[in-house]
Structure 1
Amino acid sequence: MAEECEMEHTPGSIDDQAQAAEETLRLIKESLKFYDSKGLKKLILEEKLSDQSIYWEVATELTKHLTAENLENYTVFFESCQRCLNYLIRTGNAKELLLALLEQTDTFNDDVKWKALLEGIQQTLLKLPSKRYHSLDIALSTVHAHIKSLPEPSDHELEGEENKLLELDPEVQRITDVLLGFLVFVEPFVSEVSLNKANVDREKSKHQIAMLRKYLLLTLNHPLVFLDLAFCEKQQERKAKGYARMCVEKTVNFLCELCPDFFKTIMQCLEEIQLSKLNAKKSIEKKEEDGEETTDFIDNWAECKDEGLIPLPSLACLSYLILAEGLGQERFPAVYTHKYILEFNLQFVLLLFQKQESLIVSKGVRLLEVLIRGIAPATFTVEDLDNPNYTKTLNCLINVMIRCPVKEVRGSAVQIFSNYIKMFTLPARVQIYEMIFNTCRHAGVVGYSIQLVKDQIDATLKQEHPDTDFLGLNLKRMLMFVSQLPEGAESDLLETSDRVIPTLNLIRYLILRDPISSNITGIWSYYEELEKNFFGSLRLALDFSKSHYKLELQNFKKGKASVEKGMELGVNISVAGMPMPKVPRSQQIQIVESALNTFDLIDSLLSRIVELADSQLKASKTDTKA
């Protein structure tokens, strides 16, 4: 009889429970609709909501109100929603609530909501100590998607101390705020499998370690590589670190807890990338055989199609942080030679040089500076130049010297340029200079290289038994490269003056330093050829250029009709081959006068060379007759 009564009342009680749950859910939604904090806390916290059947819907409704707008305008209501959500997480089913929270986390325009949900996701994951692998993977993927959606910060091209102002950039502030939230989120999971804990089973935890390592490395690719991460403790002892530096230090510290050997980690990632490219190549070849259209697989700075790959920029940024910033060096083996480390990291230097952003280029410059610091002069030979990365790096360095908008970075590149060439033996240096003279069209770079050649010749001539690499035919070949006027007598000497003046200085030095009686350099063997092919054309070009600019200056000063009517002088200014905006007419006279002074200097050098050479030639003829 009792059993029959129970059977009769059970369906009714279930219906009553369902109705009660629906009513509670309705009241909660109503409280949320009218921003009723007290009513919300009464229904969930004071009455200790325990009906698991509505937890999913309640959690979903609560997360919808965790927005930046509510935090700003309804702070008490926002905090009440957070407290109620935390209660649900503590008392509810972890797996079910995790899915509900992740569903709401997939938003890329509200950092407040994303950060508010991170703690809840973290707590639900920590309630799943066993069989957490797939849940953690999904959570990290969803959370990282928001980081990946952050826009790249603007490149303000700031100089030196001005870089501290980047901390005030709203884009940078947003990035560091999001990254700090992410690092707090992953901290307990890193701690669980940390190398600092002796009782951690590395084999059992390898999946969690691999996941955490992957997503931490991905933050180095985007967005950390775009931020100013430099910090010199000696120079900034009393200065606080910026948030970007704090983010990257914490990231590297976590990686140190996960990776016993950074070099091995980088090598493994590179092998995976190469294998993926190989498989992609095979796939492309198969599609081509089938007549299908194909596209390139990976752009180093674009997102890899294979989500499992760590992109090269992440590895480049990690190398920069280890070698240039000194972070995580305890996880970098000190068993490799400086030469090997340089050769290995040139690929990362080239990658950083590919970008236009000054902060990324500066990382490449700084990394290269540190890499060559440990290399003794004349370490690399001509055979090493067969490695294309060496010439590519030199060309990229020249490009930075010419085009980088930040003066400080350009200056660093110029200093590295000479030290980079000094790494090679004398025969290799000759080959490098010939390549520069033959391919580089920037007069300033060629002129600076000529000065370096002059310094090398001077060092050679001071030796008791001079090396012949920068003398004789090699010197002649280099001089013939640099003593050519691109358009003969019609060449624009103002544009090429940075190359012409050092060339004349070199010839003058050779005539003074190496008398015709010894002719160690061989300059006197082809002096007549220089006089005929270079000096003659240069003299004509000087006459044409002087006449043109003097006429322009005369017209300007006399106020000719063409100028009075607003016509501007025919003065074109270019930097690195790029035309600059026209200067005001009030400044053009200064440009013309400066050009005439330059022509006078060239004329003076040329006259002095001819005078010195003639005196030596006459003296030589006199000695011969005697």
Structure 2
Amino acid sequence: MMNEDQVKEIIQRWRNTQEDDLKPEDYQQFKTLGCASLSEGESQQLLKFIQDEKNQVIVKSMGCVILAPLLNEVVKKAKGLDQYQAAITHLTRTCRPNELLDCMLEIIEGIDPGAISETILALLPHLQSVLLRLDEGKAACVGSTLSALQKQLSRLPVPYTEQQEEADEYGLCRCSAALTVFTEPFVEEVKRTDGNCAATAEDEELKIELLKFCMRSLREPLLEAELKHDRRSPLWLFAVEIMVTLSAIKEPLPELLFFSSLRKNILMDNNQFKEARACLAYLLFVQLITIDNFPAVFSHVFILQCNMEYISQLLSSKKESHLLKGLALFTKSLERVQDNSLPVSLLDLKSFYSVTQNLRRVLTDCPIQHLRESGLQVFQVFINKLDAEAKHKFFRCMLKTSNHAGIESYIIKNIRNQFELSMKWGNANEWFLGTEFISLMTLVLCLPQGAQTDLLSSMDKIMESLNLLRYVLIRDEELRTNEDVWEELCRIKEEYLKMLRVCISISRAYYSSELKALREDQKLKAKEARDAARPTKLVKSITVRKEKVSNMSPEVQHQVLQSALVTFDLMESLIARIEEITEEKQNKLN
């Protein structure tokens, strides 16, 4: 430990030494003395040294080395906080900006994971001052700084609920607000170049770096956050600022959303770029942020077509925040499209197919009920927007690919609705009343596994198929006008009902035997329990019948088996009613 005279001697030597003659040992010694002052709580003395006019050459040359220790004290909110802040401010005004920036980027890169937000919040004002002092290469430095900051912030969990945002336990909301303030002067620089002055290459580069910042922000944290117009949360306000920034730097939203294939390689990799644009589309078309800046020349169908790529991206995710945004964007994109107007050609587009398949997965696999309910609503809205031919093709596709009785039964309900609509005056069409209708009925009246079909898992589809068949037979006038169509429908009906009867017979026998076995098993267990309760020395062993492994209790098994038998009764009653209707119609014709 050096005494006061030794320290004064070292300082005097530094004052008398040219900057170029300073050695690495001098830098290390300067840092050691600075850290010693900090550890001893001599913040006032250190500030006095840094601000002393006689020491400015020393501070300019070597001051950067104590920037990190000073910032560490600020983050710890140590005693003498005002002195530490004043010392850092003086360094940012005195040291060379390029050296300061290198030190600050090094600090950002090495942030303690437990102090990410505190460090960034303490550093941002000083970092802004340093960047504003730069002349050449400012744009690249702004870009590398924003990238480094966002890389660290991406490590923080994104608050999702209102309570989490209000608590802001990890500081992401505060950092997002501080980032907005941090970028303001650079946004203003870009705005100034949009006047009469021609933009330089440096100006264009700064604009690109700010655009990258906005796109990264859209992807993280905004894509993960719950954003609602009626809840002006900190992240909602950050989203507004990002959208306003895009407008301020004169970035055309249509080009970014619809025609940006040339730019994506400049901004980020393709998948990240698509996620960022998906969030942009959501903020623009669902939350209507800066919608006034979006030109009204694009048709609603074109906007829907372009948004389908982003909707597919969002619906392919398993995250609730992504799915919510995808369903909302799909709904809003469909709302302004006229009913029965979307042509069949759109279904050939890869994005339309991907969206419907991803939506199907939401309906069948998503464990969150309100998402399934929202998904079903937008599913019906989409169907309503298709024209007759497109509906026909879509129904066929879903019946072939869904592999889910619930989805298939929903499609069959829609087929019935379209058949009923076609019966009304002026609505007749071949897709739901003529030859093409038979191709749909072939898929509806079908048991893919034949006699081995599991009637319980297919119950929804089968019941809806029988109801449709019953309705078609009641309203058969139009179909009978085309003899070939009617004969083919009758043939399909007979084959279907014949196979269904076989299935019901096999299934009834199986479930009846299972129910009987279950009852016998319960009786056996009850008897064994009674025998075990009797004290006797004559019983040498108890033989327990081998049971069928099941996760269900005997009571639940009994209920399921009994329900299955009731279901078969319902199917048979519908079949009987269909046969009655057929016989009645035949008698009338004869």
TM-score class normalised by the smaller sequence? 0.7 to 0.9
Secondary structure at the aligned position of 1:349 is classed as helix
Q: Out of 30, 34, 37, which is 2:36 matched to? A: 30
Partner of 1:252: 243
Question: Among the aligned pairs, what percent are the same residue?
Answer: 23
Distance 2:62 2:108 in 1: 15
Which shifted more, 466-475 or 547-556?
547-556
Q: Out of 214, 217, 220, which is 1:216 matched to? A: 214
Distance 2:438 2:306 in 1: 36
Q: Does 1:266 align with 2:257?
A: yes
Matched ranges for 1:437-586 at <5 A? 437-464=399-426, 466-514=428-476, 518=480, 524-526=486-488, 528-558=490-520, 559-561=522-524, 582-586=551-555
The structure-2 alpha-carbon separation of the partners of 1:388 and 1:16, relative to structure 1 and needing over 3 Å to count, comes to closer
One-letter code aligned to 1:599: F
Q: Out of 278, 298, 304, which is 1:342 matched to? A: 304
Secondary structure at the aligned position of 2:71 is classed as coil
Which shifted more, 31-40 or 119-128?
31-40
Using the size of structure 1 for normalisation, the TM-score is 0.78
Partner of 1:619: 588
Q: Does 1:324 align with 2:286?
A: yes
Which shifted more, 247-256 or 53-62?
53-62
Q: Is contact 1:176–1:244 with CA below 8 Å preserved after alignment? A: yes
The structure-2 alpha-carbon separation of the partners of 1:21 and 1:391, relative to structure 1 and needing over 3 Å to count, comes to closer
Secondary structure at the aligned position of 2:287 is classed as coil
Distance 1:222 1:247 in 2: 11
The structure-2 alpha-carbon separation of the partners of 1:127 and 1:529, relative to structure 1 and needing over 3 Å to count, comes to same
Q: CA deviation at 1:375?
A: 1.2
Distance 1:566 1:164 in 2: 57
Partner of 1:307: none
The structure-2 alpha-carbon separation of the partners of 1:353 and 1:166, relative to structure 1 and needing over 3 Å to count, comes to farther
Q: Is contact 1:346–1:389 with CA below 8 Å preserved after alignment? A: yes
Query: What do residues 130-182 of structure 1 show as CA deviations (whole Å, max 9, x unaligned)?
Result: 763343233333333323x426659x9xxxxxx545537878x5443432332
Q: Is contact 1:216–1:251 with CA below 8 Å preserved after alignment? A: yes
Name stretches of at least 5 consecutive residues in structure 2 with no aligned partner. 1-11, 529-543
Distance 2:545 2:110 in 1: 58
The structure-2 alpha-carbon separation of the partners of 1:568 and 1:241, relative to structure 1 and needing over 3 Å to count, comes to farther
Distance 1:165 1:70 in 2: 28
Secondary structure at the aligned position of 1:469 is classed as helix
Q: Does 1:595 align with 2:564?
A: yes
Matched ranges for 1:277-288 at <5 A? none
Q: Is contact 1:378–1:425 with CA below 8 Å preserved after alignment? A: yes
Partner of 1:53: 58
Secondary structure at the aligned position of 1:76 is classed as coil
Q: Is contact 1:102–1:121 with CA below 8 Å preserved after alignment? A: no
Secondary structure at the aligned position of 1:270 is classed as coil
Q: Is contact 1:349–1:365 with CA below 8 Å preserved after alignment? A: yes
Distance 1:268 1:487 in 2: 47
The structure-2 alpha-carbon separation of the partners of 1:466 and 1:26, relative to structure 1 and needing over 3 Å to count, comes to closer
Q: Out of 76, 93, 98, which is 2:96 matched to? A: 93
Using the size of structure 2 for normalisation, the TM-score is 0.83
Query: What do residues 300-328 of structure 1 show as CA deviations (whole Å, max 9, x unaligned)?
Result: 25xxxxxxxxx221112111111111012
Distance 1:12 1:317 in 2: 55
Q: Is contact 1:261–1:333 with CA below 8 Å preserved after alignment? A: no
Q: Is contact 1:378–1:423 with CA below 8 Å preserved after alignment? A: yes
Q: Does 1:178 align with 2:165?
A: no
One-letter code aligned to 2:128: Q
Distance 1:406 1:486 in 2: 30
Matched ranges for 1:151-162 at <5 A? none
Q: Does 1:63 align with 2:61?
A: no
Partner of 1:192: 189
Distance 2:291 2:367 in 1: 32
Secondary structure at the aligned position of 1:269 is classed as coil
Partner of 1:116: 122
CA root-mean-square deviation: 3.6
Q: Is contact 1:552–1:569 with CA below 8 Å preserved after alignment? A: no
Which shifted more, 116-125 or 401-410?
401-410
The number of residues matched between the two structures is: 553
Query: What do residues 90-143 of structure 1 show as CA deviations (whole Å, max 9, x unaligned)?
Result: 333333322222222223523122332221110112233676334323333333
Query: What do residues 507-561 of structure 1 show as CA deviations (whole Å, max 9, x unaligned)?
Result: 0111122259955797742354234321122122222323333343444445155
Distance 1:327 1:136 in 2: 26
Distance 1:512 1:425 in 2: 26
Query: What do residues 224-260 of structure 1 show as CA deviations (whole Å, max 9, x unaligned)?
Result: 212212x14xxx4xxx422221221121122221125
Q: Is contact 1:56–1:96 with CA below 8 Å preserved after alignment? A: no
The structure-2 alpha-carbon separation of the partners of 1:208 and 1:268, relative to structure 1 and needing over 3 Å to count, comes to farther
Q: Is contact 1:358–1:404 with CA below 8 Å preserved after alignment? A: no
Distance 1:62 1:541 in 2: 81
Q: Is contact 1:28–1:58 with CA below 8 Å preserved after alignment? A: no
Q: Whose helix proportion is higher, 1 or 2?
A: 2
Distance 2:547 2:38 in 1: 70
Distance 1:330 1:121 in 2: 34
Distance 1:449 1:482 in 2: 9
Q: CA deviation at 1:79?
A: 5.2
The structure-2 alpha-carbon separation of the partners of 1:333 and 1:16, relative to structure 1 and needing over 3 Å to count, comes to closer
Secondary structure at the aligned position of 1:75 is classed as coil
